[in-house]
Amino acid sequence: MAKKIFYSFLAIIAVLQLFQPDRNISTENFKVELANHYSVPDSIESLLNTVCYDCHSNNTDYPWFVNIQPIGWYLQGKINKGKSKLNFSEFGSLFKEKAIEKLENIEEVMKKNTMPLTSYKWYNKNADLTIEQREMISKWAINLSKQIASDSTAALNADSLPVKPL
Ligand code: HEC
């Protein structure tokens, strides 16, 4: 009896593997990407890239165990949800007010230490941010939000500005 249950369990797990979640992968360099649109220091961009982009961009660097179901579904669910709330790959397409609101949200999650998700820290060792790193992101986010509020053109990445006629 126990053997039968065990084999049925194995069979179910095997069948689950046939249903892989859709992957969030794109190599496109979007014009509306955060750092293409706004002026972002390299240090911030690389930090966000390492600890946030897996769930908040159009391109996730997947761990190997995404291939194992149902773990992969769980992971993909978090990615889809995170991306639907905040997507750095398309940040430049947000209206001014929305961009300010999202930047304020970033400041808040850094202060409360609720991002990245705890489960993410289990497999990405770089994701356990130090207080200094959280302060760095927090300060940057609030400064950029203030800059967008007072003069949104000055906040733009110089490369993304339209060329002025002479
Ligand atoms: C493992 C996936 C994952 C990682 C990594 C991650 N997040 Fe999130 N993030 C989420 C999910 C899921 C939500 C939605 C939370 C909810 O409402 O349940 C979220 C929500 C947010 C929100 C709230 C957005 C809103 O409009 O409500 C902010 C801000 C945020 N994340 C910032 C960050 C920052 C900054 C980083 C990197 C330091 C980061 N996140 C890393 C998954 C992630």
Q: For each of the chain's 166 residues, which pLDDT tens digit applies?
A: 899 999 999 999 999 999 999 999 998 888 899 999 999 999 999 999 999 999 999 999 999 999 999 999 999 999 999 999 999 999 999 999 999 999 999 999 999 999 999 999 999 989 999 999 999 999 999 999 999 999 888 899 887 766 655 5
Centre of ligand 1 from the C-alpha of residue 103, in Å: 12
Q: Which residues sit with their C-beta closer than 6 Å to ligand 1?
A: 51-52, 54-56, 78, 81-82, 85-86, 102, 105-106, 109, 115-117, 120
> 55: closest CA among 91, 30, 28, 81?
81
DSSP 3-state of 156: strand
Name every residue whose Cβ is closer than 8 Å to that of residue 139 and which is 6 or more positions away in sequence. Answer: none
Mutate which of 86, 113, 134 for ligand 1? The one with the most ligand atoms within 8 Å of its CB, which is: 86
Measured in Å, residue 79 CA sits from the centre of ligand 1 at 9
pTM here is 0.92
